[in-house]
């Protein structure tokens, strides 16, 4: 009475390889952040601020959402980044109760160095990911054709 497993051995191998490559990238990222005297979460916060679409600052709620953490945790993270002189807080211009978080010049320098290293690592992993994702895409196309006929 068990359910049929729709995944093949090759599916499991692809999933395992993807998890492995993602984990390798995360370990690389954690070590790079540590070498810059940051935690991985602090690095991620700086990147989220710099990479926020359309502007050079975020509010606390936006940062919390981008990092997948609670508002109170984002406040603590910002406090630690302020103590390291990597971010600034200022009141919003429209709503003075809104707190806007921006990067300092020191954070811009650290983030630029980390981002260059991350970009190089992604370029190194890209061919492996492209093959893996290409195989997955080809299999999905094949399966959808089979289900039509």
d(CA 128, CA 7): 21
Domains of the chain, first to last: 27-148 (1.10.10.10)
Using pLDDT thresholds of 50, 70 and 90, give the confidence band for residue 96: confident
The phi and psi torsions of 86 (rounded to 5 degrees) equal -105, -20
Q: Tell me the HSE value of 85 on the side-chain side, using a 13 A CA sphere.
A: 3
What is the tens place of the pLDDT at every residue in 2-44? 567 788 888 888 889 989 999 999 999 999 999 999 999 999 9
Reported pTM? 0.82
Q: How confident is the model at residue 46 (pLDDT cuts 50, 70, 90)?
A: very high
DSSP 119-131: HHHHHHHHHHHHH
């Amino acid at each position: 009475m068990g359910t049929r497993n729709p995944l093949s051995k090759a599916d499991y191998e692809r999933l395992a390889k993807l998890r492995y490559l993602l984990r390798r990238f995360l370990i690389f990222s954690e070590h790079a952040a540590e070498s810059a005297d940051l935690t991985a979460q602090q690095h991620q916060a700086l990147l989220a601020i710099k990479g926020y679409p359309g502007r050079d600052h975020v509010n606390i709620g936006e940062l919390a959402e981008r990092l997948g953490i609670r508002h109170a945790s984002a406040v603590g993270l910002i406090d630690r980044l302020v103590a390291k002189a990597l971010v600034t807080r200022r009141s919003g211009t429209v709503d003075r109760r809104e707190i806007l978080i921006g990067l300092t010049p020191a954070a811009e320098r650290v983030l630029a160095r980390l981002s260059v290293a991350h970009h190089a690592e992604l370029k190194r992993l890209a061919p492996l990911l492209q093959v893996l994702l290409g195989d997955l895409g080809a299999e999905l196309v094949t399966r959808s054709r089979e289900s039509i006929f």
